[in-house]
């Protein structure tokens, strides 16, 4: 984006007459790309819509996930090509692809007369291995919610543990402010780690931005500037503040251009000046807040309970969805092509012919769609062409909803339509304001979470095509950040029994009712809420397992169903939630082995072939030791910096413990 020329308010845009040329803006800026894979002779084939118009050429780029540049193209193709096959792949590695098309349409947002480019992004793999460990998640719960819904919150915590999270909880008192919550998060990040943050209830809302006063941001994200009678200048809600550990947030400037007091921003008032995120977002933040929703017959407590119940049903595979996306583009006339992101990402997630162009509410009357998108001129409680907050009293939309329009991206207000979308009885798990910027969600195809998508969107600065207001403090995930796709039915009825001298644990369970499963993984921990270690490196099909080396004392075991899941980006080994059992007073043979800790240390992948990556919170040089299950030290050395890769290809297959500065993690050598 090189200019704000022709930057119009979203309300005005809805009233404009559509032009034939402008109707293709989203299609011009998107490539509907998806991947198929070959396991016998490993390869990944990228495909895209051959009927696209205005195309002059395609280029394909590839990089390792996490890389910061795309390098040179690995494929240069003509305007009539619709497939590219990459045979330089392994079975289990993940590759990120960018399909770029050039068009003959002049880009109105470029000063050099350049042409519009369209994009597809895919995170693809022939068969990505299972993700056993997801990191540490903190659930911060408002006191009124905790006092009323202790049982429901316990179920939420158990579900998070069962999905591979190390779970910690805190109750936030009504007297707490934004600075108190931030200090708590920073302290927890440094002490035991914090990779994700679920704000449940009306946790204090940070505000940031000097829109219209800031020379770099002469308009707010929805375009309603200081000449608008309902100016949307000033500060917007900024939950991302909680996710930035090292960043210079300032409160030294002011604006008088805001229409609402909530957006007013004065020096020293606790609202920050930053419109662009200062620093890197490290924590995946999501919020479910049902306060101030009097449109609905249910109270705040009842709406929260309803939400926790329905995401539990979804996570346990009891709420299946149709793996398609409904797209309702009421801003087809605008050159920014707001819906281009979902055209490309819904295809990457769901595959060929994944998109249904229809009214979201009407389509949802006959099917429970996984994904939905709508945009239109709006208010805090409405999106023109889509609906109003009150519609969610009787209607369902999709499970995961992208919305875009005026005002309602500022969600901390009574009966806000984005928060209302979570108030439905069945669907409505998470919502995002996607258009300025466009959300980056293609990695959901291989089992990443919506918190991961939020992190990628918030940290994006011209790495992915995302329109104006990239890296903005206003981007927020409404919903549980641990949510992901392709949830399955777990195994049932875990039973644990010890032998006569309590040196062995016999584990048994009933089969999952999920179809076409690969088998089961078994895990062990010495704490119920974290640090579950996989005991087998590949799924077993039996319904029993014997652990010959339990911990001394209490042992917790988990069983998770495994299934190879096909998506629009290849295959990945998907896991259900786990079922957990406890056995005590074991006479373990691992008394001299270090206990697992999550403090300041992360090691991945948890099942490794050749290398492991160590991440630690300190940049200082530190010694490490790798110990096998017999207590023997098999490797040692030192690591420096925050991240380092270690070669472990010479180790025998089995479970290993790595200790650094008194902290321990575990991995399996495949």
Indicate whether 630 belongs to any domain: yes
Mean per-residue pLDDT for 85-90? 98
Kindly tell me the burial class for residue 502, based on how many C-beta atoms sit within 10 Å of its own C-beta (0-12, 13-18, 19 or more): middle
506 and 579 within one domain: yes
| Domain count of the fold of the chain | 4
| 595 has pLDDT over 50 | no
Show Cβ contacts of residue 233 under 8 Å, excluding neighbours closer than 6 positions.
Answer: 211, 212, 213, 220, 224, 225, 226, 255, 257, 258, 259, 263
17 pLDDT more than 80: no
* Boundary-marking domain end, from 107, 128, 149: 128
The yes-or-no verdict on residue 593 having pLDDT over 70 is no
Which structure tokens are listed for 455? 């992190």
> Which pLDDT value is given to residue 603?
87
d(CA 43, CA 38): 5
Q: pLDDT value at position 485?
A: 99
Residue 13 in any domain: the answer is no
Residue 363, SS3? helix
On average, the pLDDT of the chain sits at 93
Give 424-472 pLDDT, tens digit per residue.
Answer: 999 999 999 999 999 999 999 999 999 999 999 999 999 999 999 999 9
Residue 172 lies in a domain: yes
pLDDT at 9: 58
Output the six-digit token pair for 572: 């990945």
Residue 608: the pLDDT is 85
Q: Tens digits of per-residue pLDDT, 475-486?
A: 999 999 999 999
CA distance 224 to 439: 21
Q: Are residues 114 and 150 in the same domain?
A: no
**Amino acid 554: pLDDT:** 95
CATH of the domain at 545: 2.60.40.10
Residues 340 and 462 in one domain: yes
- Reported as a single tens digit per residue, the pLDDT across 615-627 is 876 667 788 989 8
pLDDT at 10: 60
Residue 441 counted as domain residue: yes
User: How high is the pLDDT of residue 670?
Assistant: 79
Examine the domain organization and report whether 438 and 511 are in the same domain: no
Instruction: Kindly report which listed range (239-243, 270-274, 610-614, 661-665) carries the lowest average pLDDT score.
Output: 661-665
Statement to judge: residues 316 and 367 lie in one domain: yes
Tell me the C-alpha distance between 487 and 491, whole Å: 13
Condensed to tens digits (0 to 9), the pLDDT of residues 49-75 reads 988 899 999 999 999 999 999 999 999
**Does residue 487 sit within a domain?**
no
**What does the pLDDT read at residue 480?**
99
Residue 78 and residue 214 in one domain: no
Q: What range does the domain containing 320 cover?
A: 136-479
Give dist(CA 322, CA 628) in Å, integer.
45
Q: In sequence order, what are the beta bridge partners of 431?
A: 401, 478
pLDDT at 607 over 90: no
In which element (H, E) is residue 344 found?
Answer: helix 340-350
Whether 337 and 405 map to the same domain: the answer is yes
Do residues 176 and 283 both lie within one domain? yes
Please tell me the predicted confidence (pLDDT) of residue 589.
57
State the pLDDT at residue 622: 84
Domain-ending residue, one of 71, 102, 128: 128
**Whole-number Å distance between alpha carbons of 176 and 144:** 13
Cβ neighbours for 392, distance < 8 A, ≥ 6 positions apart: 296, 420, 421, 423, 424, 428
Are 223 and 118 in a shared domain?
no
Contacts of 20 (CB under 8 A, 6+ apart): none
Percent of the chain with pLDDT over 70: 94
Task: Confirm if 385 and 14 have CB atoms less than 8 A apart.
Answer: yes
Same domain, 399 and 516: no
Reply yes or no on whether the pLDDT at 110 is more than 50: yes
pLDDT surpasses 90 at 653 = no
Same structural domain, 572 and 614 = no
Backbone angles phi, psi at 223, to 5 degrees: 85, 0
- In this predicted structure, the answer to whether residue 11 has a pLDDT above a threshold of 60 is no
Measured distance between the N- and C-terminal CA atoms of the chain, rounded to whole angstroms: 46
Please state the rounded mean pLDDT for residues 285-306. 99
Query: Which residue do the tokens 């780690």 mark?
Result: 193
Q: Assess whether pLDDT exceeds 60 at residue 611.
A: yes
Res 1 pLDDT > 60: no
Instruction: List pLDDT tens digits, range 479-523.
Output: 999 999 999 999 999 999 999 999 999 999 999 999 999 999 999
pLDDT given at position 18? 38
Last residue of a domain, one of 557, 587, 617: 587
44 vs 14, higher pLDDT: 44
- Report the distance separating Cα 237 and Cα 560, nearest Å: 38
Question: Residue 221 and residue 598: Cα distance in Å, rounded?
Answer: 39
The reported pLDDT for the residue numbered 262 is 96
Model confidence at 594: pLDDT above 80: no
Q: pLDDT by residue (tens digit) across 145-180?
A: 999 999 999 999 999 999 999 999 999 999 999 999
Q: Is the pLDDT of residue 15 over 90?
A: no
Task: Clarify whether residues 555 and 614 are in a common domain.
Answer: no
Q: Across the strands, what pairs with 497?
A: 506
């Amino acid at each position: 984006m090189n200019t704000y020329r022709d930057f119009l308010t979203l309300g005005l845009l809805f009233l404009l007459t559509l032009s034939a040329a402008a109707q293709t803006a989203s299609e011009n800026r998107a490539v509907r790309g998806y991947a198929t894979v070959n396991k016998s002779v490993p390869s990944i084939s990228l495909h895209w819509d051959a009927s696209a118009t205005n195309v002059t050429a395609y280029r394909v780029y590839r990089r390792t996930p996490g890389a910061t540049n795309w390098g040179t193209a690995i494929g240069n193709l003509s305007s009539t090509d619709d497939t590219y096959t990459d045979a330089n792949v392994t079975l289990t590695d993940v590759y990120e692809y960018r399909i770029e098309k050039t068009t003959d349409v002049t880009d109105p947002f470029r000063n050099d007369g350049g042409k519009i480019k369209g994009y597809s992004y895919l995170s693809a793999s022939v068969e990505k291995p299972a993700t056993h460990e997801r990191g540490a998640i903190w659930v911060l719960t408002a006191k009124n919610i905790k006092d009323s819904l202790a049982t429901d919150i316990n179920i939420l915590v158990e579900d998070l543990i069962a999905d591979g999270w190390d779970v910690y909880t805190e109750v936030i008192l009504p007297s707490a402010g934004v600075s108190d919550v931030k200090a708590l998060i920073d302290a927890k990040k440094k002490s035991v780690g914090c990779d994700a943050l679920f704000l449940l209830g009306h946790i204090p809302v940070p505000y940031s931005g000097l829109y219209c006063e800031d020379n770099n941001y002469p308009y707010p994200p929805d375009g309603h500037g200081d000449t608008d009678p309902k100016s949307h200048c000033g500060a917007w809600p900024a939950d991302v503040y909680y996710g930035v550990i090292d960043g210079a947030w300032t409160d030294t400037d002011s604006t008088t251009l805001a229409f609402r007091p909530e957006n007013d921003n004065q020096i020293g008032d606790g609202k920050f000046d930053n419109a662009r995120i200062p620093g890197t977002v490290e924590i995946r933040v999501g919020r479910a807040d049902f306060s101030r929703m009097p449109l609905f017959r249910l109270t705040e407590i009842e709406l929260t309970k309803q939400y926790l119940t329905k995401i539990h049903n979804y996570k346990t595979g009891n709420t299946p969805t149709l793996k398609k996306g409904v797209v309702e583009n009421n801003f087809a006339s605008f050159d920014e092509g707001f819906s281009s992101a979902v055209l490309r990402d819904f295809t990457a997630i769901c595959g060929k012919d994944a998109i249904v162009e229809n009214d979201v509410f009407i389509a949802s009357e006959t099917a429970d769609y996984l994904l939905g998108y709508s945009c239109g001129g709006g208010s805090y409680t409405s999106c023109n062409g889509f609906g109003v907050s009150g519609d969610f009293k009787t209607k369902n939309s999709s499970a995961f909803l992208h919305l875009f329009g005026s005002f309602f991206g500022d969600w901390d207000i009574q009966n806000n339509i984005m928060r209302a979308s979570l108030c439905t009885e069945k669907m409505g798990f998470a919502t995002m304001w996607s258009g300025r910027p466009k959300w980056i969600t293609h990695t959901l195809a291989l089992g990443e979470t919506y918190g991961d998508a939020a992190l990628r969107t918030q940290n994006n600065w011209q790495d992915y095509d995302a329109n104006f207001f990239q890296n903005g403090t206003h981007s927020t995930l409404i919903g549980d950040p641990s949510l992901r796709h392709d949830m399955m039915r777990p195994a049932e009825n875990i039973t644990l029994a010890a032998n006569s001298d309590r040196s062995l644990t016999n584990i048994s369970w009933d089969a999952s009712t999920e179809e076409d499963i690969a088998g089961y993984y078994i895990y062990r921990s010495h704490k119920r809420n974290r640090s579950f270690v996989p005991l087998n490196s590949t799924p077993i099909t039996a319904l029993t397992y014997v652990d010959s080396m339990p911990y001394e004392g209490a042992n917790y075991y988990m069983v998770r169903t495994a299934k190879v899941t096909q998506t629009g980006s290849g295959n990945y080994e998907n896991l259900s939630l786990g079922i957990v059992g406890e056995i005590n007073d074991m006479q373990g043979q691992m008394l001299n082995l270090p206990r697992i800790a999550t403090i300041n240390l992360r090691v991945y992948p948890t099942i490794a072939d050749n290398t492991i990556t160590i991440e630690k919170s300190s940049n200082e040089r530190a010694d490490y030791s790798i110990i096998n299950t017999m207590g023997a030290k098999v490797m040692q050395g030192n690591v420096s910096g925050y991240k380092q890769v270690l070669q472990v290809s010479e180790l025998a297959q089995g479970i290993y413990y790595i200790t650094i500065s008194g902290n321990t993690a575990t991995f399996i050598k495949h």
